[in-house]
Amino acid sequence: MAEPTTDFVARYGAIYENSPWVAQRAERHVAGCRDIDTIATVMADCVNNAALDEQLELIRAHPDLAVRAQTAGKLTAESRSEQARAGLDQCTKEEFEKFQILNRAYREKFGFPFVMAVRDSNRAAILAAFEARLGNESTTEFETALAEIHKIARLRLDAIEAA
């Protein structure tokens, strides 16, 4: 049975992609807190102290980058906006094909999608990072994916607080 949604979870439940459990766990430690730095730290600690299978599930909750319109409907509003800001919705045919090749190669090697905080990036930088990170060992890339997820979460928290 799912836990009831509280105001905290309603406000912060989408910070970690399709993973409201992070806000649910964090809430008991920051109930009534409005300090964004504290909330970010506690939420990150909840992820860092989660079981490995939960962390893997969180990584796998992220979408592939540069998906076409037919699969874009599966993106959360946050992911759609972040990818658009990086210009991933405006890929040339060649860029789109390159992203698809890299998405497949990355998933085959690591078993989860490539995760990068793309909001303040561009297609060329993302492709370069994609290619470089394909050379990482699995443990390194797992840790890198979690670090990128924390960056994404922080950007999302900042956007909520700025609104």
Name the residues annotated as catalytic: 62
Burial (0-12, 13-18, 19+ Cβ within 10 Å), 71: exposed
Closest alpha carbon to 96 in 62, 134, 64: 64
CA distances from 68 to 65, 81, 98, 102, 135 (A): 9, 14, 13, 15, 26
Name the token pair of 96.
């789109």
List C-alpha distances in Å: 116 to 13, 83, 122, 152: 20, 10, 11, 8
Grouping H, G, I as helix, E, B as strand and the rest as coil, residue 102 is: helix
Single out the residue of 112, 32, 13, 23 nearest to residue 65, CA to CA. Answer: 112
